[in-house]
A and B are shown apart, each in its own frame.
Chain A
Amino acid sequence: MEMPAPNPAILARKADLVEKLQSIMPRDAVIHEPAETRAYECDGLTAYKCPPLAVVLPASTQEVSDALRICHEMGVPVVPRGSGTSLAGGALPTEDSVILGVARLNDVLETDYDNRFIRVQTGRTNLSVTGAVEEDGFFYAPDPSSQLACAIAGNIAMNSGGAHCLKYGVTTNNLMGVTMVLMDGTVTEIGGAFLDAEGLDILGLLCGSEGQLGVVTEATLRILHKPEGARPVLMGFNSSEVAGQCVSDIIKAGVLPVAIEFMDRPCIRATEDFAGAGYPDCEALLIVEVEGSDAEIDEQLETIMEIARGHDPVELRQSESEEESKRIWLGRKSAFGAMGQINDYMCLDGTIPVSQLPYVLRRTEELSKDFGLDVANVFHAGDGNMHPLILFDANKPGDLETCEALGAEILKLCVEVGGCLTGEHGVGIEKRDLMLHQYDPADLEIQMAVKDVFDPKWLLNPAKVFPLASSDARRIAAE
């Protein structure tokens, strides 16, 4: 993956830049020694690394604004960073950029149960938002598997989802307001503790804009009361196609589970060794979860299990206890980790229409054979968000390249059947060069024109999302 060459004029002004940054925030909030900036050289896409020129860790919106203003005046690119768990290289720096990390902005500013919202600083982790309201029976719904580590800042920038977003939606559906600092240091407030923010839907635009439009420092998030209870059912099938058909039938039947998760055999085996969730050894596994009171759960699961029985399952088992439910989810949530223990892998994230599941799974298997690399599947089946994991050996010359080529083919397949390149991980650098498979040049042009409005000099996370050749003119004009 190519990155633009660093601008020597910026590298030459490092001392000046550091001094200016140190004048507006505590010295320990400006990191510039090469030994220390190394900690920020990559995000969750660890195949690509590059230490930044410097790192700033502001502790207030004002410090964010001051730091951005300085970088803006000096023409220095800025890469916003939450917890650095992006799987797309969204937080990958360049040598001539400043990383602006929001990790020190992690306070809860307001909780309001009557009006059902929480206002937080965005460096706060996803799970600790729920943590702040949990004792009172509430939760924040979007639940990426990385929720222990990832920050609300990154969730907004990537419009992250999770297993339960089939029912509760992704970040954009749960965000009510933000404080956002533009690249020139201007502080803006959009929305708040009310629904449907004023004017054009800037909030909607911001979600998923990958840190290219502004730095979000505070967020008003919708919180909900926890359901009375939840219970998963495990279903094992002898073929992925049958499992796919079962998903479609469940959705059509009018029950709306909170989650429908899918795993294939390689994933089942790896997670079973890792988490001991009691998964059956079969071709395809579904975890379907419903919520409500015990009686309501019984009623919904009855309908769902009736449908499953029609598909000849090799296993059909309701969780019998809180304990068992936890184990079932632990298996799913640790799937990536489990695969990581046995292999290097690349995690894809395309979305497809649910009706195309069987075909896409079959084609993926064929492609996997053609390229000679194994592919394991674990994904959110209810909304068609696939996560094929391509297994490779990072130490074997050429393997990463083969893996990337196979990945590109699978993503193109997703687009071909009416889907998209990425459902929740974002484009970053990883899918940047595939964008023209999904969009025509005019479609990308209007997206880049949006960035022109928010960041006319193209200094915020400039080398992401758009193919470098498409954004070249703008980035170079900015220099």
Chain B
Amino acid sequence: MKTLAPASEAELAEIVAKTSEPLRVIGGGTRPIGVPVNAQPLTTSGLSGVELYEPGALTLVVKAGTPVAEVERTLAAEGQRLAFEPMDHRGLLATTGEPTIGGVFAANVSGPRRIQCGAARDFLLGVRFVDGQGQVIRNGGRVMKNVTGYDIVKLMAGSYGTLGVLTELSLKVLPKSHATGTVLIEGLADAQAVRALSRALASPYEVTGAAHLQRGADGTPVTMVRIEGFENSVAYRAGELKKILSAFGEVKIETDPERTSAEWRSVRDVEVFHGRDGDIWRLSVKPSDAPVIVSRLNGAEAVYDWGGGLVWLLVPQSSNATEIRAAVAKTGGHATLIRGNRAAGVFQPLAPAVAALHDGLRARFDPRGILNPGLMGRAA
């Protein structure tokens, strides 16, 4: 099927209004998350470019098809960044292409810093999108605080293109930090590691990353805590954290910019699982429940981020999804099948009353059911 590639929002709106075919909305196509959709492909790649950038107001307005790399370059030139640290899914999902900023928000993709500063959705100030009837809708704006009417902005973040096709986004950006430090402990078992991360996160030292890898670079477990800021402040806080964490094992401090940035990129992109066979799941749970859940699942390997609250699981291919979902449902949280046989359902099934709200919203935003139909469908 030929991919539709509108060059403007107006053209996109017309396509959607006139189509009688369902559409599969694509940004860069690097994040095939959700139940696969068999429909006419439509890419936002023609909607690209920065519309407005005010570093002094920490705001950026950008078209949805703009490559993430271009956004990051623009911001870096002013010493700023996307603070929520969006993950690059290409390594994990073996995809190619250029991730777009629209895709980041459509999937609400955040990285390790989410634990401290919030998720992608927390940085989205305003949207323009084309709904399922081809109408252009605006919500939010380009200011930091806005409670004028309902927050449809948040609803669009993480809706995977099922409520509308994003065309323009206003973002809050933040200054880059001057220095980074990683406090490391090797050899901890999962439960101990999560306890250590909790101690660090419950300190006043503004931890901006808290992860545990069952197998670090040399195969031994490594528990990592990140702090960022001015150089002296990083050194001070690393020292204080070292005191707190010494009870758990020998503590090392890493401040080399290249090595710290490689370490956290590895956590962000779940590099340990790149190129490995098996299904990949993403769990959001209460941190202290995480090691318990993992230990209940046979043959599961885990990468813990967000102090344990985010678990990346590698399990043998076609592992029992019901078992994983049940383990999560028991303690609270949700499990998403990121890689594996997605046809059987991807997202955590919702309680009937909440599912009814989802269905109702979808019916209002996309009455004909033509935008990524079934992508967020309920698991069987």
Contacts and interface: CB of A to CB of B under 8 A. Distances in A.
A351 B126 CA distance: 14
Interface string B137-174: 11101111111111111110111000100000000001
B350 interface: yes
A198 B202 contact: no
Contact of A170 (B145, B230, B347): B145
Given A169-B122, A196-B108, A198-B348, A353 B59 contact: yes
A228 to B, nearest CB: 5
Contacts of A208: 147, 150-151
A252 B173 CA distance: 11
Contact of A114 (B163, B198, B365): B198
Interface stretch (A262-270, A318-326, A435-443): A435-443
Interface in A4-35: none
Given A209-B150, A383-B144, A418-B142, A200 B361 contact: yes
B232 interface: yes
Interface string A291-305: 011011001100000
Interface in A110-154: 112-116, 137-138
Given A173-B118, A208-B150, A438-B148, A225 B143 contact: no
Contact of A355 (B56, B119, B347, B376): B56
Nearest to A297: B233
A70 interface: no
Interface stretch (A55-63, A181-189, A232-240, A400-408): A181-189
Category for how many chain A residues contact B:
35 or more
Interface residues of B, number: 81
Contact of B54 (A197, A204, A300, A355): A355
Contacts of A352: 143
Given A202-B357, A226-B204, A425 B147 contact: yes
A297 B144 CA distance: 25
Given A114-B198, A198-B350, A422 B143 contact: no
B58 interface: yes
Contact of B143 (A189, A226, A419): A419
Interface in B25-54: 54
B334 to A, nearest CB: 4
Interface stretch (B67-75, B88-96, B245-253, B285-293): B285-293
A447 B204 contact: no
Interface in B310-359: 310, 332-334, 347-348, 350-351, 353-354, 357-358
Given A165-B145, A209-B150, A452-B364, A225 B175 contact: no
Interface in A240-263: 248-249, 251-256
A195 B114 contact: yes
Contacts of B358: 199-200
Nearest to B354: A188
B306 interface: yes
B288 to A, nearest CB: 5
A205 B144 contact: no
Nearest to A207: B151
A252 B55 contact: yes
A186 B356 CA distance: 11
Nearest to B347: A199
B354 A202 contact: yes
Contact of B287 (A115, A188, A197): A115
- For B139, B150, B203, B348, the residue with the greatest tally of chain A CB atoms inside 10 Å of its CB is B150
B143 A453 contact: no
A251 B152 CA distance: 28
Nearest to A300: B230
A479 interface: no
A355 B147 contact: no
B57 interface: yes
Contacts of B255: none
A423 B310 CA distance: 32
B121 interface: yes
B347 A299 contact: no
Interface in A154-192: 158-159, 161, 165-166, 169-170, 172-173, 182, 186-190, 192
A198 B334 contact: yes
A116 B202 contact: yes
Nearest to B61: A418
Contact of B364 (A192, A201, A351, A453): A453
Nearest to B140: A420
Nearest to B364: A449
Given A113-B202, A116-B201, A172-B151, A453 B57 contact: no
Contacts of A202: 155, 354, 357
A355 to B, nearest CB: 5
A328 B136 CA distance: 47
A184 to B, nearest CB: 10
A304 B232 CA distance: 17
A75 to B, nearest CB: 21
Given A384-B143, A421-B148, A453-B357, A295 B232 contact: yes
A296 B56 contact: no
B230 A439 contact: no
Contacts of B150: 205, 208-209, 447, 450-451, 465
- For B59, B284, B357, B360, the residue with the greatest tally of chain A CB atoms inside 10 Å of its CB is B357
A427 B333 CA distance: 33
B178 interface: yes
B122 A431 contact: no
A227 interface: yes
Given A115-B287, A172-B154, A196-B108, A225 B137 contact: no
B364 A447 contact: no
Contacts of A115: 198, 286-288, 309
A205 B148 contact: no
Given A351-B144, A355-B56, A254 B176 contact: yes
Contacts of B306: 195
Given A299-B233, A384-B145, A420-B141, A254 B79 contact: yes
A435 B204 contact: no
A77 interface: no
Contacts of A296: 229-230, 232-233, 236
A188 B357 contact: yes
Contacts of A446: 131, 137, 139, 152, 364-365
A299 B155 contact: no
A76 B269 CA distance: 52
B176 A420 contact: no
A275 interface: no
B260 interface: no
A420 B204 contact: no
22 contacts: A166-B144, A172-B122, A188-B351, A189-B351, A194-B333, A197-B334, A198-B334, A200-B376, A201-B121, A299-B230, A299-B232, A353-B54, A383-B144, A419-B143, A422-B146, A439-B149, A440-B138, A442-B137, A443-B137, A446-B364, A447-B139, A452-B360
6 nearest CB pairs, A to B: A204-B154, A453-B360, A254-B175, A383-B144, A423-B145, A198-B334
Interface of B: 54-59, 79, 108, 110, 114-115, 118-119, 121-122, 131, 135-139, 141-155, 157-159, 163, 174-176, 178, 195, 198, 201-204, 206, 229-230, 232-233, 236, 284-288, 306, 309-310, 332-334, 347-348, 350-351, 353-354, 357-358, 360-361, 363-365, 376
Interface of A: 112-116, 137-138, 158-159, 161, 165-166, 169-170, 172-173, 182, 186-190, 192-205, 207-209, 225-228, 248-249, 251-256, 292-293, 295-296, 299-300, 351-355, 380, 383-385, 418-427, 431, 435, 438-440, 442-444, 446-447, 449-454, 465-466
